[in-house]
Structure 1
Amino acid sequence: MATESTNTVTLWFDVSCPFCWVTSRWMKEVEKVRDVQVNWVPMSLSVLNEGRDLDPGYMEKMKANWGPARVFAAVATQEPEKIDALYTTLGTLIHNNGEGGKAGFGAYDALILQALEETGLDSSYFDAANTEDWDSQLRAFHQQAMNEVGNDVGTPVIKLGSTAFFGPVLTRIPRGEEAGELFDAAVRLARYPYFFEIKRSRTESPQFD
């Protein structure tokens, strides 16, 4: 059953992140069973990890992630109503189709072009992928999330009403009414001003079916 009032949710995402993808698909399920309006905003793991002393292989993946994030920054600025559809299209190509984890600048170029075409967006948005023209706007979007939750987080960042958290980290996508019930529980925790964190060790990788 849908709730009587509309819940406003903001979800900051990086399309490359599989955990963020699961959380976002949960929210798409929530939209079906609750009166929820989701505001989709890009953030960037490449920005987050800039200058950090991390595994070289991981940092090569961060180079690849610049391209999609820059394109999302451009679309979010010029056609924000298309962000949801573009995220769904490109995220499906990356995660459900097993095209994630790419390394090196430009690694997602072909997928970006395919997603823009399938979403009905102008191919000129692709120009943002391999330039710094939209980096300031991407950093501004990213900083919105950091201002909400602090710097010791990753993706996703979700804001439920007036309170934001990193997560929730899910490895499977809740469906139907169960998705709604988990959302209700998350909203209730968010309303308690002294709740900050729940965490345990993960025992499986994300699954998207």
Structure 2
Amino acid sequence: MRPISLRFEVMSLAVINEHRDLEPWYRAFNDRAWGPARVCTAAAAHHGPAALAELFPALGRRIHDAGDKDFDAVIPAALAEVGLPVELARVAYRDDVDERMRTSTARAQQLVGEGLGTPTIAVDDVAFFGPVLTSIPRGDEAVRVFEGARLLAGCRAFTELKRARVDELSFA
């Protein structure tokens, strides 16, 4: 709808929450998140940010849209879909990219502040947590949402806007 320069970087909830006391179900969720985050980190490191911009949505479609939680199947399928080496899936079980992932996450937290999560969006040198949406806006509505977020980001006094989730998540 309008040209923008978009760049994905890894910000990992697993990293943010690794030393926090969490409810058991959320600890399990975070512990499982290391694998896909490691693969995304390695893809960006070895194939550039454009690879991450393709891989992240491919993983999201499988995990969130299709509800597939078998990461041993999801990760190689997403890598193959976007033309990345399927061997990158092995990184999910190694910690050699963890320091790079921690650095990327720390960079995002420096922009938006401690205690906030994902998504972190930086627009015109201003960063904020969100927007969190229950569905993906399209067309003119997407432009309005983007411009609204950009307008709020430009107001230094703005810190938060939140309401209860009323709709189920839809990634269609």
Post-superposition shift, 1:109? 2.0
Write out per-residue CA displacement over residues 59-109 of structure 1, whole angstroms, 9 at most, x where no aligned residue: 11111110000011111112122111111211111111112xx4xxxx512
Partner amino acid for 1:73?
Answer: T
Q: How many Å apart are 1:200 and its aligned residue? A: 1.7
Determine which structure has the larger strand proportion and give its number: 1
Q: Which amino acid aligns with 2:82?
A: T
2:61–2:171 Cα contact (<8 Å) kept:
no
Length-normalised TM-score, structure 2: 0.94
The number of aligned residues is: 171
> Which residue of the partner structure matches residue 112 of structure 2?
149
Cα deviation for residue 58 of structure 1 reads: 1.5
Structure 2 gaps, min length 5: none
Structure 1 stretches of 4+ moved >3 Å:
none
CA distance in 2 between counterparts of 1:57 and 1:45 reads 14
| Matching of residues 2-17 of structure 1 within 5 Å | none
- Tell me which amino acid in the other structure corresponds to 2:9: V
1:111 positional shift: 0.8
Higher relative contact order (CA 8 A, sep 6+): 1
Q: Are 2:55 and 1:86 aligned?
A: yes
Distance 2:13 2:72 in 1: 17
RMSD: 1.3
Please point out which of 72, 88, 97 is paired with 2:66.
Answer: 97
Distance (whole Å) between structure 1 residues aligned to residue 92 and residue 135 of structure 2? 30
Distance 2:170 2:46 in 1: 32
Task: Please say if 1:55 is aligned against 2:18.
Answer: no
Q: Percent identity?
A: 41
Deviations 1:120-144 (A, max 9, x none): 1112211211010100001011111
Measured in 1, the distance between the counterparts of 2:25 and 2:162 equals 27
